[in-house]
Amino acid sequence: MNERRLEELRREIDKVDEAIIELLGRRLKLAREIGLIKGHNRKIRDLRREQRVLERVKLQASLQQFSPEVAEKIYRILMDYFVSQQEELLRQQRRP
């Protein structure tokens, strides 16, 4: 019985993981669009905006009884990645 419940819960976790990755894919598309709007004349990295994102995410994390510190670490990694993807997109645009 416990085994069955464990399998059930793991299937739920798999679904949650799928949703997380799908949302990250959505976030990536949005970040790329923003990168194109910024273009070559504006700095890609916006630390003030990143600070605001971190504040929101940490607040949401605590409302979900999730560690704000862990949420912050995850988001710092994510935002580095999104910035690098925006830069890569603009680099590709420069190539003939």
Residues that bind ligand ISJ (CB under 6 A): 31, 34, 45-46, 49-50, 53, 79, 82-83, 86
Contact call for residues 45 and 83 (beta carbons, < 8 A)? yes
Least distance in angstroms from the C-beta of 66 to ligand ISJ: 18
Q: What amino acid occupies position 46?
A: D
- Given the complex with ligand ISJ, which of 4 and 40 has the nearer CB atom? 40
Q: How far is the CB of 79 from ligand ISJ (least distance, A)?
A: 4
Q: How far is the CB of 93 from ligand ISJ (least distance, A)?
A: 16
Whether 83 and 44 have beta carbons less than 8 Å apart is answered as yes
* CA–CA distance, 8 with 46 (Å, rounded to integer): 42
